[in-house]
């Protein structure tokens, strides 16, 4: 099936596989299509069907709230062609250089799972082929028998790897996480598309790192810090991580963070912010290099950040209200301009 | 319409955005106070209608909408961050302790760009 896209910068054609979202097929073909979440929530990849056979997919997608399905509006991340079709995309689109790596569809097999806290799981996958990715990127993951895909940021980092690690938090009505938590899934096949996302760590920029995150949002931040630590970035640059959880027992990846701090010549500072518990000390009892503070993570960061942060880039990940509060702190307290704040815009 | 008193200068602390109603309560607007003055504008971000009194942050001379990091220099109205559309503004003057805005008609943004999607000029815009 051939999809033709009319865009502000010209017309493009590409082939889609049966059941493949139009967005994935276009990205796979090397087009710089607009997207953020790639999972139906943000609305960035909106297109309008002009002719042909293309179904919009998930009818309740939050990202469609502002658009007009009756006029053919659809989200490319949900839309699937069933024949040749013509869509319009209100954006400038370019064809990437043939040498640039594009995201692709791959398969993975779950190789290990372990509980990090009572409701957070660490999941390891082996891929059927190694892929390169940048620290901070994510994959859209699908499981057999479950509709649609979920976006998960990689926890690990390697220039090219056939192993990806993810963090999954259990949510009451989350089909994918319930499948993971309620079944013996080790050995199960999953489908993946990626890598995706531009909220990445680029060491060549030379910025100090200021990261504010909550809960499972730590995933992409761990990848960024792991990459930085592996290349001895903290020998010459400062890093600050504010990691929000509810109680001391909800903290995870603390041994890994403590190891990075120990290697950083005190240039990496990590503060665990507890929203629902007053810590008995300002240091973690098992990892004394990790500081403890009481309060919401963005409030803790606001109190701790001392004036304008020169030559610093901010990374934010977590639940929507936390992201909003953290961005406010990065702008108002840390003095960061908007172009030095990176986060995946999932809403 | 003409110059209309919107608020007192102290009603809007520096580095903040406050919402008011002008024209007898018929025209919503926000006053943003930056390092060197005040700006009056429609109460929503021109990107996705985020309320600027909730999601707008002023630091120095820059207004940023925290939702998607659209930002503008409030002195020059230059686009910053990820902004793709300019702010619309009402002229502002300070008379004594009053912040006055010149309002001839309500300024609104075009959010429904379906004409854009259907128009032959779509490809040239």
Q: Of the ranges A44-53, A189-198, A337-346, which one carries the lowest mean pLDDT score?
A: A337-346
Residue A22 sits at φ, ψ, to 5 deg, of -55, -40
Inspect the interface and report whether the beta carbons of A71 and B67 lie closer than 8 Å: no
Nearest CA in chain A to B123: A8
Tokens standing for residue B86: 């300019």
Inspect the interface and report whether the beta carbons of B67 and A338 lie closer than 8 Å: no
Stronger pLDDT, A173 or A165, i.e. the higher one: A165
- Nearest chain B CA: its distance from A94 CA (Å): 14
Q: Alpha-carbon dihedral of residues B34, B39, B45, B47, nearest 10 degrees? A: -100
Inspect the interface and report whether the beta carbons of B69 and A332 lie closer than 8 Å: no
Inspect the interface and report whether the beta carbons of B117 and A90 lie closer than 8 Å: yes
- Crossing angle for the helix pair A254-263 and A218-230, to the nearest 10 degrees: 30
How do residues B53-94 score in pLDDT, each as one tens digit? 999 999 999 999 998 899 999 999 999 988 999 999 999 999
Mean pLDDT of chain A: 94
Q: What is the mean pLDDT of residues B95-103?
A: 96
Nearest CA in chain B to A69: B114
Q: Of the ranges A43-47, A156-160, B13-17, B113-117, which one carries the lowest mean pLDDT score?
A: B113-117
Q: What is the mean pLDDT of residues A325-332?
A: 95
Instruction: Compare CB distances from A337 to B80, B113, B116 and report the shortest one's residue.
Output: B80
Residue A27 sits at φ, ψ, to 5 deg, of -65, -40
Q: What is the mean pLDDT of residues A149-174?
A: 92
Q: What is the mean pLDDT of residues A282-297?
A: 98
Length of chain A: 347
For residue A92, CA distances in Å to A31, A48, A347 come to: 10, 15, 22
The answer to whether B80 and A337 have CB atoms below 8 angstroms apart is yes
Say if residue B122's pLDDT is above 70: no
Q: B124 pLDDT band (50/70/90 cuts)?
A: very low
Q: What is the mean pLDDT of residues A80-88?
A: 96
Q: For the domain bounded by B3-123, which CATH number is listed?
A: 2.102.10.10
Q: What is the mean pLDDT of residues A1-24?
A: 96
Hey, where are the domains in chain A?
2-89, 104-196, 203-342
CB contacts of B44 in chain A (<8 Å) are none
- Whole-number Å distance between alpha carbons of A286 and A135: 28
Say if residue A133's pLDDT is above 50: yes
Q: Which CATH number fits domain A104-196: 3.30.465.10, 2.40.30.10, 3.30.540.10, 3.30.43.10?
A: 2.40.30.10
- Whole-number Å distance between alpha carbons of A310 and A79: 43
Q: For the domain bounded by A2-89, which CATH number is listed?
A: 3.10.20.30
Question: B66: closest CA among A327, A343, A198, A43?
Answer: A327
The answer to whether B64 and B81 have CB atoms below 8 angstroms apart is yes
Cross-sheet strand order for the sheet of B98-102: B3-8, B98-102, B91-95
pLDDT given at position B125: 39
The answer to whether A287 and A255 have CB atoms below 8 angstroms apart is yes
- Crossing angle for the helix pair A320-332 and A297-304, to the nearest 10 degrees: 10
Q: What is the mean pLDDT of residues A7-20?
A: 95
Inspect the interface and report whether the beta carbons of B81 and A335 lie closer than 8 Å: no
Residue A6 half-sphere exposure toward CB, CA atoms < 13 A: 17
Q: What is the mean pLDDT of residues A323-341?
A: 94
Inspect the interface and report whether the beta carbons of B114 and A71 lie closer than 8 Å: yes
Q: Is A203-342 a CATH 3.40.50.80 domain?
A: yes
For residue A86, CA distances in Å to A89, A145, A228, B92 come to: 10, 30, 44, 48
Q: What is the mean pLDDT of residues A138-163?
A: 92
pTM of the model: 0.91
Q: A127 pLDDT band (50/70/90 cuts)?
A: very high
Those of residues 53-92 in B touching chain A at CB distance below 8 A are 55, 57, 59-60, 62, 64, 66-71, 80-82
- Whole-number Å distance between alpha carbons of B113 and B122: 10
How do residues A89-124 score in pLDDT, each as one tens digit? 999 999 998 878 899 999 999 999 999 999 999 999
- Nearest chain A CA: its distance from B111 CA (Å): 9
Inspect the interface and report whether the beta carbons of A337 and B68 lie closer than 8 Å: no
pLDDT given at position B121: 47
Hey, where are the domains in chain B?
3-123
How do residues A262-280 score in pLDDT, each as one tens digit? 999 999 999 999 999 999 9
Inspect the interface and report whether the beta carbons of B122 and A8 lie closer than 8 Å: yes
For chains A and B, CB pairs below 8 A equal: 55
Q: Alpha-carbon dihedral of residues A301, A133, A168, A223, nearest 10 degrees? A: -40
Question: A293: closest CA among A232, A230, A219, A243?
Answer: A243
Say whether the peptide bond before residue A195 is cis (omega within 30 degrees of 0): yes
- Whole-number Å distance between alpha carbons of B9 and A119: 50
CB contacts of A337 in chain B (<8 Å) are 62, 71, 80-81
Inspect the interface and report whether the beta carbons of B66 and A328 lie closer than 8 Å: yes
pLDDT given at position A217: 95
Interface contact B117, partner A, CB < 8 A = yes
pLDDT cut 70: percent of chain B above it: 88
- 3-state DSSP call for residue A320? helix
What is the maximum span of chain B, computed from C-alpha positions, in angstroms? 51
Q: What is the mean pLDDT of residues A172-180?
A: 86
pLDDT given at position A11: 96
User: Using beta carbons and an 8 Å cutoff, which residues of A are at the interface with B?
Assistant: 6-8, 10, 48, 66, 68, 71, 88, 90, 324, 327-328, 331-332, 335, 337-339, 341, 345
CB contacts of A339 in chain B (<8 Å) are 69, 80-82
């Amino acid at each position: 099936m051939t999809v033709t896209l009319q865009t502000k910068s010209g017309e493009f054609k590409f082939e889609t596989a049966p059941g493949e979202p139009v967005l994935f097929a276009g990205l796979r073909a090397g087009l710089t299509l607009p997207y953020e979440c790639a999972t139906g929530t943000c609305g960035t990849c909106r297109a309008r069907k002009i002719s042909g056979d293309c179904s919009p997919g998930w009818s309740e997608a939050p990202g469609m709230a502002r658009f007009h399905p009756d006029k053919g509006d659809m989200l490319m991340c949900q839309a699937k062609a069933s024949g040749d079709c013509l869509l319009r995309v209100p954006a400038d689109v370019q064809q990437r250089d043939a040498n640039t790596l594009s995201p692709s569809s791959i398969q993975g097999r779950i190789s290990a799972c372990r509980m990090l806290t009572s409701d957070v799981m660490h999941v390891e996958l082996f891929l059927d082929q190694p892929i390169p990715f940048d620290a901070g990127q994510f994959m859209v993951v699908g499981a057999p028998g479950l509709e649609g895909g979920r976006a998960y940021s990689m926890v690990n980092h390697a220039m090219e790897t056939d192993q990806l690690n993810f963090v999954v938090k259990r949510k009451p009505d989350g089909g994918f996480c319930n499948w993971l938590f309620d079944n013996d899934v080790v050995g199960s096949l999953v489908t993946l598309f990626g890598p995706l996302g531009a909220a990445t760590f680029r060491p060549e920029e030379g910025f100090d790192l200021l990261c504010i995150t909550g809960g499972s949002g730590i995933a992409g931040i761990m990848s960024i810090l792991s990459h930085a630590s592996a290349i001895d970035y903290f020998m010459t640059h400062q890093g600050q991580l504010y990691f929000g959880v509810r109680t001391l027992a909800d903290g995870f990846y603390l041994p890994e963070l403590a190891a990075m701090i120990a290697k950083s010549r005190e240039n990496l500072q990590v503060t665990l912010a507890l929203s629902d518990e007053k810590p008995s000390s300002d240091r973690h009892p098992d990892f004394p290099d990790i500081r403890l503070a009481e309060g919401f993570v963005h409030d803790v960061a606001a109190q701790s950040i001392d004036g304008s942060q020169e030559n610093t880039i901010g990374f934010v990940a977590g639940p929507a209200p936390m992201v909003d509060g953290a961005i406010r702190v990065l702008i108002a307290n840390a003095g960061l301009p908007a172009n030095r704040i990176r986060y995946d815009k999932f809403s | 319409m003409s110059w209309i008193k919107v608020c007192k200068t102290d009603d809007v602390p520096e580095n903040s955005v406050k919402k008011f109603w002008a024209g007898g309560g018929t025209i919503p607007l926000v006053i943003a106070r930056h390092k060197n003055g005040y700006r009056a504008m429609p109460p929503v971000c021109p990107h996705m209608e985020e309320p600027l009194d909730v999601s707008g942050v002023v630091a120095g001379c820059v207004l940023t909408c925290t939702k998607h990091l659209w930002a503008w220099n409030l002195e020059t109205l230059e686009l910053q961050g990820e902004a793709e559309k300019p702010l619309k503004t009402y002229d502002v003057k300070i008379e004594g302790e009053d912040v006055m805005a010149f309002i001839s008609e309500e300024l609104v943004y075009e959010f429904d760009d379906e004409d854009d999607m259907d128009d032959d000029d779509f490809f040239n815009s």
